[in-house]
A = this chain, B = another copy of it.
Amino acid sequence: MQRAAGLVRRGSCPRASGPWGRSHSSAAAEASAALKVRPERSPRDRILTLESMNPQVKAVEYAVRGPIVHKAGEIEMELQRGIKKPFTEVIRANIGDAHAMGQQPITFLRQVMALCTYPNLLSSPSFPEDAKKRARRILQACGGNSLGSYSASQGVNCIREDVAAFITRRDGVSADPDNIYLTTGASDGISTILKLLVSGGGKSRTGVMIPIPQYPLYSAVISELDAVQVNYYLDEENCWALNVNELRRAVRQAKDHCNPKVLCIINPGNPTGQVQSRKCIEDVIHFAWEEKLFLLADEVYQDNVYSPDCRFHSFKKVLYQMGPEYSSNVELASFHSTSKGYMGECGYRGGYMEVINLHPEIKGQLVKLLSVRLCPPVSGQAAMDIVVNPPVPGEESFEQFSREKEFVLGNLAQKAKLTEDLFNQVPGIQCNPLQGAMYAFPRILIPAKAVEAAQSHKMAPDMFYCMKLLEETGICVVPGSGFGQREGTYHFRMTILPPVEKLKTLLHKVKDFHLKFLEKYS
């Protein structure tokens, strides 16, 4: 690494003269330089400091890449430098990053992407015709037939059509391409919609209802936008179910100090892995209708359902099935992504949102807001296209595609069960069934003495636990406090993405660590 601090190559600077750099030379500046004694300025006397910075950004927290992940990076560097540890590698189970955990990309998706990237390959016999067909279709919809052109801010037209056709097939309810917006991952869509929605000051600040535990993108964006976070608690005793009575409690209390306008749902749940029943979704929609709330349905794990008793129901579908009083009134934005499911293409930052019942004037505002950032990455849009428009029976690539897809999803289902079963064998760990998504969020017993030890280190007890776990085993998980949890309860979030054998080793290491931890602090 090259360090810049203080290094100046004077050789290439014919006009600079001395430390004051007197070569600025407008008459006024010269005069002021000559007359005034310049005040001393310490290198730490910065314009942008913790005191002067945007206080809303300062208040942001994002645990999934927080201090524990920073520590993990430090430990990796130490390992590289040959420093001895009780383990040989750091296992990053903190984030849903499938390929980083060894999952292979879906071949068909990458074939289409390569063809779009380098169209010379369209004449290569080593690519299947169905991949070429899709690549040609995408390229024809791009300016100059190039992924390097900007797309419309809302996204490439034909890709939005494919997304709408996918939703129509999924829900049995027709979707309009005009309501589809391609995004830079789902996170971008969620923050864009929230940005549109926040307004007001004091008691009329916008309240945004989010589940606790939540995915911390929500709390971070709420903080950035200076909105009010309104927590509703998922029912851990009931498999992290969402109970509408709890929504009622939360909104009632919130009305004292803000204007609740938005209800965010994560289904399947992150970090909690529950899959909402159809009845529960109906209840939520009715509640949103009654309370006049704008609904945000984060459905990025819609392909990740493992429990045989569970099925994914989209909010859009249930909304339409409830009849026109709902379907023509409730404002709903739902989100999907290339990052999760069976494809795990996080790096491309592909995603879409479908927004229905948006006021026509607001649609214009939304498109304007999107246009300031020009467009989502076109390569990510292309990846999204393959996710919603995969090979179908009869196409050349169908068999291989299906095999790869089933392998990933079957594997995840196996690991979900494995993780639940193993955690529940450990005294002091309780783990709800992992019905969906790709995380375990077990509850952990932290003895009073450990809580005291944590306090003496000025750490949340579960942060203390996770730090110890990392330092002793190399396993990086995220403390429950980063997602929110009922006071006095402790959890961590761990992905189930490592390969089966590695995951087994990991779970046994957690078990051994936990038992030792209990022993040490009891």
Contact = CB atoms under 8 A, between A and B. Distances in A.
A490 to B, nearest CB: 23
Contact of A248 (B28, B47, B52): B28
A142 interface: yes
A427 interface: no
A437 interface: no
Interface residues of A, number: 157
Interface in A304-335: 317, 320-329, 331
A293 interface: yes
Interface stretch (A231-239, A372-380, A458-466, A472-480): A372-380
B373 A293 contact: no
Nearest to A349: B377
A320 B317 CA distance: 60
B13 A321 contact: yes
A278 B16 CA distance: 11
A217 B376 CA distance: 16
A4 B196 contact: no
A54 B199 contact: yes
Interface stretch (A265-273, A280-288, A397-405, A507-515): A280-288
A483 B459 CA distance: 50
B323 A20 contact: yes
Given A57-B369, A174-B3, A197-B53, A25 B282 contact: yes
B195 A329 contact: no
A111 B120 CA distance: 10
A429 B344 CA distance: 54
Residue of A103, A146, A261, A371 with most partner-chain B CB within 10 A: A146
Contact of A379 (B118, B191, B379): B379
A26 B322 contact: no
A149 interface: yes
B4 A175 contact: yes
Contact of A97 (B150, B359, B380): B150
A317 B324 CA distance: 63
Contacts of A66: 368, 371
A262 B360 CA distance: 36
A339 to B, nearest CB: 8
A83 B5 CA distance: 64
Interface stretch (A38-46, A409-417, A418-426, A449-457): A38-46
Contacts of A282: 15, 21, 23-25
Contacts of A378: 347-349
A356 interface: yes
B97 A290 contact: no
A503 interface: no
Nearest to A13: B321
Residue of A118, A294, A368 with most partner-chain B CB within 10 A: A118
Contacts of A144: 99-103
Interface stretch (A178-186, A388-396, A440-448): A178-186
A380 B13 CA distance: 34
A168 B377 contact: no
Contacts of A80: none
A488 interface: no
A20 B196 CA distance: 29
Interface string A69-101: 000000000000000000000000001011111
17 contacts: A1-B177, A2-B165, A4-B356, A8-B320, A9-B172, A12-B317, A15-B321, A19-B324, A24-B285, A24-B287, A46-B357, A46-B362, A47-B292, A53-B197, A97-B143, A117-B117, A151-B347
